[in-house]
Structure 1
Amino acid sequence: MNQEEAMPMSGYEASLAEIQNVIMDWALAAEGFRQRYTGLTELINSLEKNKRIRASVSRERMQRLRILRQHSTDALLTLMLDMSGQRAGRSSQLSKPGQLHSHARMLNELNRAIDAELTTPVTTVAQA
C-alpha cells in the first residue's frame, strides 16, 4: 500500500463561521425539541388521566401521539449516542458539522410533527 492510500483524503473544510451557524441551528433545534417533547408528554399524560377527554379522543390519535413520542425518544437517544461517539464500531470523536446539520434537520422535522399534534384541538364530550 502506498502512502497516498494510507492517508485519508481531506475533503471540504468548513469555515469557523459555518461551523458556528451549524452549532447554533443545532442548539436552537434541540432546545425547541426539548420543549415540544415535554409538551407532547404532558398532553399524552393528561389525555390518559382525564376520562372525559380520553373518551372523546380517538384511539387513532392516541396511537399517533404515542408513536410520535416513541419515535422522538428513539431519535433523541440516537443523536445523543452519535454526539458522544459511543456507537458500536466508532472511535470516540466529535461530531462533524455535517452530522450536526443532519441532526438539526431531523429535530426540526420532529418539531413540525409534534407542533401539528399539539395544535390539534382536543374536544371534550359533555356528560349527560
Structure 2
Amino acid sequence: MNQEESAISFGYEASEEEIQKVILAWAQATEAFHYRFAKLDRLINTLQTASRRKPTANRARLNRLVALRQHMGDVLMTLLIDMSNQKTGQPAQLSKPGQLYSHANLLDELNRQIDVELISVTHVAQA
C-alpha cells in the first residue's frame, strides 16, 4: 500500500445524514442572513430618509448600521468566493461538510449581531 492509499483510508468520511444536517444548517443560516440583510437595508433607508429632515438625529446609529451592512456584504462575498474556490484560480469544487459548517456558524453569529442592532433600533423607535 503506498502513502496516498494509507492517507485516504485513515480519513474521516461523514455519513449521509451528517452531510444532510450540515447542508440544512447552512441553508437555514443563509436564508436567515438574507432576510436580515434585507431588513437591515430597509431600516437604513428609513433612517437615511429621516436624517435628511433631522441631520443630527441618529447619525451614529445610522453609521453603525451602514458599517454592519458593509461587513455583511464582505462576509457574503468571501463565503461565495470560498465556496467556488476562485481565489486560487482553480475550477469550482464541491465544498467539504466542515467548510459548510464553518460558514453556517459564521452566518449565525452575524445574524445574532444584526438582531442586536435591529432590536436596539426598534426599542429606540418605540420610546
Q: Is residue 2:36 matched to residue 1:36?
A: yes
TM-score with structure 1 setting the length: 0.83
Q: TM-score, normalised by structure 2?
A: 0.83
* Greater helix content: 2
- Hey, what's the Cα distance between the residues in 1 that align with 2:54 and 2:114? 19
Among 7, 10, 16, the alignment partner of 1:9 is: 7
Q: Report if the CA contact (8 A) 1:26-1:101 is conserved.
A: yes
Cα distance in 2 for residues equivalent to 1:94 and 1:72: 23
Query: Structure 2 stretches of 5 or more lacking a match?
Result: none
Distance 1:42 1:71 in 2: 16
Structure 1: state its 5+ residue gaps: none
Deviations 1:73-119 (A, max 9, x none): 01100111111221225453111000000000000000000011111
Amino acid across the alignment from 1:57: N
Which is worse superposed, 7-16 or 22-31? 7-16
Residues 1-128 of structure 1 mapped to structure 2, 5 A cutoff: 3-4=2-3, 9-10=7-8, 11-51=11-51, 52=53, 55-59=56-60, 61-120=61-120, 121=122, 122-123=124-125
Q: Structure 1 residues 69, 40: CA separation in 2 closer, same or farther (over 3 Å shift)?
A: same
Label 1:22 to 1:48 Cα distance change in 2 as closer, same or farther (>3 A): same
